[in-house]
């Protein structure tokens, strides 16, 4: 015996929070929606965990970063769910799902049934053991996917203050954690097999800028090799990291950021899985191969019209937010809901730097701006085989400039002379004289960060200040998630 709901969201992360808000806006009744989450807290903005949460002073803590503050919307506290009659089943893992019977079996032994299910199970961090290296359970080895990981990381950082950390992995988590460790006065060596950081997105030129910046903060890089073993003391704590190239790195702590895997397990054999992109395959309404089941966020592989409707699975917060809003519209208002026409958008903030990327990083790269200083803005366009701009990256832009690069990736104008594009650089996007402007109502897939408004408004006033004074000011006011 168990409870029955009209709508169940499986997973209580970013997508769940945004879907809940959208359900209430579209008028669901009390007792119709249930969210089941393994985590013991209501949905929160996960990006905060590698940013504001790790600050040494005045760190971000719940309830300050519950969804949906990341998109400047309401903050959905447990009280909010209660007031809206939404059942939060927290600290509860779903152990199995039966999509034919439309039921979920939870770790507490309850069977919860649904009329419509939204799968929002996100992803899990890959463990060292999956690459044949033992030691993930050592007390000073950290991963970062959820609040429990982040709290543990804070404790380990505090015990390792003034010591050395080895960061395994040169992606998002590696870069953001390395910056936080330095801010917490811990020396950092980053180890990764690629030729440069953020190899899936950055060009060698863009990566060189960030690596130089990180080096100026004392971060060391060891590239082209991987971890071979962890050396532990009698307490089981890691004291050194051994690398495949024979080097031994003494360590007071280790942070592992070697990628994620979507949480599809419960549905394998029941729903169509996109083997190539590794997620649950959905259509442009976010509907899976079963009509009662939808999937959103990191776990969903959906068609992207901007890429010729090829399927993609994106591991970024904006996609989780927007796919969640779209799925609720698809479910509650199917006739008036079009296809999910998403413009990929990623961002990161490290130290006093801040970048945004839109579109697709495929094709020829045209860099622009001054990459030789830390003064930005600089960036790059990606131009496809037909000569169209399909992707754009910008570091240190203003709100208008970020909107301009988003717009250009939507319009995808054909560009001729690449040298001219490089020399016009950001001005080309900002001018808007490349093609028909989008109308005001067009959704460009934008989430412009609140601190950028502040940056833009204050920029004119601050020109008289030195760069270091500016960096200090900016660092103090940056949003913390
Ligand atoms: C530390 C960190 C920093 C990030 N920073 C950025 C950033 O700066 N920019 C950016 O674009 N993206 C960033 N991301 C990525 C972004 O947070 C994710 O894309 C987003 O959280 C995906 O949302 P989701 O709802 O699909 O999954 P999640 O937010 O991961 O939520 C999934 C939820 O499902 C639960 N769950 C899974 N399986 C079960 C089960 N069987 N039973 C019950 N519950 C289950 C999980 O416990 C979790 O609560 C970051 C991610 C992390 C981890």
pTM, full prediction: 0.91
**Ligand 1: residue whose CA is nearest its atom 12:** 316
Question: In terms of domains, do 119 and 149 share one?
Answer: no
> What separation in angstroms does the CA of 460 have from each of 339, 374, 430, 455, 456?
41, 18, 18, 9, 8
CB 320 within 8 A of CB 15: yes
Ligand 1 contacts CB of residue 19 (under 6 A): no
The answer on pLDDT for 479 being more than 50 is no
> Tokens 């970063």 map to which residue?
65
> Could you tell me if residue 385 is inside a domain?
yes
Ligand 1 contacts CB of residue 347 (under 6 A): yes
Question: In terms of domains, do 139 and 252 share one?
Answer: yes
Question: In terms of domains, do 205 and 277 share one?
Answer: no
pLDDT of residue 416: 87
> Could you tell me if residue 462 is inside a domain?
no
**Ligand 1: residue whose CA is nearest its atom 20:** 317
> Could you tell me if residue 453 is inside a domain?
no
Which one of 223, 258, 293 terminates a domain? Answer: 258
Cα of 457 from ligand 1 centre, angstroms: 32
Mean pLDDT of 263-275: 98
CATH number, residue 242: 3.50.50.60
pLDDT of residue 311: 96
445 falls in which pLDDT band (50, 70, 90)?
very low
Ligand 1 contacts CB of residue 120 (under 6 A): yes
The answer on pLDDT for 295 being more than 90 is yes
Question: In terms of domains, do 72 and 172 share one?
Answer: no
Which one of 238, 258, 278 terminates a domain? Answer: 258
Residue 29 DSSP one-character state: P
Summarised one tens digit per residue, pLDDT across range 244-259 is 999 999 999 999 999 9
The answer on pLDDT for 446 being more than 50 is no
Ligand 1 atom closest to 106 (CA) = 42
Sign of the torsion angle spanned by Cα atoms 25, 31, 32, 36: positive
How far apart (Å, rounded) are the C-alpha atoms in residues 362 and 475? 32
> Could you tell me if residue 457 is inside a domain?
no
Weakest mean pLDDT among 211-215, 320-324, 474-478 = 474-478
435 falls in which pLDDT band (50, 70, 90)?
low
Ligand 1 contacts CB of residue 47 (under 6 A): yes
> Could you tell me if residue 461 is inside a domain?
no
Question: In terms of domains, do 132 and 228 share one?
Answer: yes
**Ligand 1: residue whose CA is nearest its atom 48:** 13
Percentage of residues of the chain with pLDDT beyond 70: 90
Summarised one tens digit per residue, pLDDT across range 98-118 is 999 999 999 999 999 999 999
Question: In terms of domains, do 115 and 199 share one?
Answer: no
Other CB atoms within a 10 A radius of the CB of residue 124 amount to 15
Percentage of residues of the chain with pLDDT beyond 90: 87
Mean pLDDT of 283-288: 98
pLDDT of residue 434: 86
Ligand 1 contacts CB of residue 36 (under 6 A): yes
474 falls in which pLDDT band (50, 70, 90)?
very low
pLDDT of residue 133: 95
Q: At what angle do helices 147-159 and 172-183 cross, to 10 degrees?
A: 40
Cα of 4 from ligand 1 centre, angstroms: 26
Mean pLDDT of 167-196: 97
Ligand 1 contacts CB of residue 39 (under 6 A): yes
pLDDT of residue 263: 98
Summarised one tens digit per residue, pLDDT across range 304-350 is 998 888 999 999 999 999 999 999 999 999 999 999 999 999 999 99
The answer on pLDDT for 95 being more than 60 is yes
> Could you tell me if residue 447 is inside a domain?
no
Cα of 478 from ligand 1 centre, angstroms: 22
Sign of the torsion angle spanned by Cα atoms 190, 191, 195, 198: negative
Question: In terms of domains, do 222 and 269 share one?
Answer: no
Token digits for 223?
């590239």
Pairing of strands 164-168, 227-232: unpaired
| 3-class DSSP assignment, residue 335 | helix
If one counts the domains in the chain, the total is: 3
Range of the domain at 247: 128-258
What length does the chain have? 481
Token digits for 383?
């131009």
CATH number, residue 409: 3.30.390.30
Ligand 1 atom closest to 51 (CA) = 3
Mean pLDDT of 272-277: 96
Averaged pLDDT of the chain: 91
Ligand 1 contacts CB of residue 295 (under 6 A): no
Ligand 1 contacts CB of residue 46 (under 6 A): yes
Ligand 1 atom closest to 17 (CA) = 25
Question: In terms of domains, do 72 and 164 share one?
Answer: no
Question: In terms of domains, do 175 and 234 share one?
Answer: yes
Question: In terms of domains, do 190 and 248 share one?
Answer: yes
Question: In terms of domains, do 265 and 312 share one?
Answer: yes
pLDDT of residue 436: 58
Summarised one tens digit per residue, pLDDT across range 356-401 is 999 999 999 999 998 887 777 999 999 999 999 999 999 999 999 9
> Could you tell me if residue 229 is inside a domain?
yes
> Could you tell me if residue 154 is inside a domain?
yes
Ligand 1 contacts CB of residue 93 (under 6 A): yes
Weakest mean pLDDT among 189-193, 237-241, 322-326, 416-420 = 416-420
pLDDT of residue 448: 34
Which one of 243, 258, 273 terminates a domain? Answer: 258
How far apart (Å, rounded) are the C-alpha atoms in residues 407 and 395? 16
Question: In terms of domains, do 20 and 67 share one?
Answer: yes
């Amino acid at each position: 015996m168990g409870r029955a709901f009209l709508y169940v969201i499986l997973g209580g992360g970013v997508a769940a929070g945004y879907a809940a808000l959208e359900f209430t806006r579209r008028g669901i009744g009390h007792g119709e929606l249930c969210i089941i989450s393994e985590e013991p807290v209501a949905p929160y903005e996960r990006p905060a965990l590698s940013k504001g949460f790790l600050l040494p002073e005045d760190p971000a803590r719940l309830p300050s970063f519950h969804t949906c503050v990341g998109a400047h919307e309401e903050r959905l506290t447990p009280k909010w769910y209660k007031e809206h009659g939404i059942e939060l089943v927290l600290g509860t893992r779903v152990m199995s799902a039966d999509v034919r019977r439309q039921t979920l079996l939870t770790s507490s032994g309850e069977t919860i049934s649904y009329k419509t299910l939204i799968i929002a199970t996100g992803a899990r961090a890959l463990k060292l053991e999956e690459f044949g290296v033992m030691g993930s359970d050592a007390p000073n080895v950290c991963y970062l996917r959820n609040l429990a990981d982040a709290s543990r990381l804070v404790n380990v950082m505090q015990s390792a203050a003034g010591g050395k950390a080895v960061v395994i992995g040169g992606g998002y988590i590696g870069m953001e954690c390395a910056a936080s460790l330095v801010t917490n006065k811990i020396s950092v060596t980053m180890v990764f097999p690629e030729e440069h950081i953020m190899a899936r997105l950055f060009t060698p030129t863009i990566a060189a800028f960030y690596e130089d910046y990180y080096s100026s903060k004392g971060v060391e890089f060891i590239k082209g090799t991987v971890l071979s073993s962890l050396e532990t003391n009698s307490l089981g704590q890691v004291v050194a990291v051994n690398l495949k190239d024979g080097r031994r790195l003494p360590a007071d702590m280790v942070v592992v950021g070697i990628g994620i895997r979507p949480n599809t397990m419960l549905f394998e054999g029941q729903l169509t899985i996109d083997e190539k992109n590794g997620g649950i395959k959905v259509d442009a309404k976010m509907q899976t191969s079963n009509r009662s089941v939808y999937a959103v966020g990191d776990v969903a592989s959906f068609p992207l019209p901007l890429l010729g409707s090829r399927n993609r699975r994106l591991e970024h917060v904006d996609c989780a937010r927007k796919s969640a809003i779209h799925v609720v519209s698809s479910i509650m208002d199917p006739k008036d809901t079009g296809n999910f026409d998403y413009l990929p958008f990623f961002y990161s903030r490290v130290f006093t730097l801040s970048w945004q990327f839109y579109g697709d990083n495929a094709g020829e790269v045209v860099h622009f701006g001054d990459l030789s200083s830390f003064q930005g803005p600089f960036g790059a366009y990606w131009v496809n085989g037909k000569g169209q701009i399909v992707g754009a990256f910008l570091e240190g832009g203003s709100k208008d400039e970020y909107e301009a690069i988003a717009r250009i990736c939507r319009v995808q104008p054909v560009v001729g002379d690449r040298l001219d594009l490089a020399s016009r650089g950001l001005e080309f996007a900002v001018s808007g004289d490349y093609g028909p402007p989008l109308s005001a109502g067009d959704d460009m897939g934008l989430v412009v960060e609140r601190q950028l408004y502040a940056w833009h408004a204050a920029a004119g006033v601050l020109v008289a200040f030195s760069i270091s004074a500016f960096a200090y000011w900016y660092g103090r006011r940056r949003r913390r998630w």
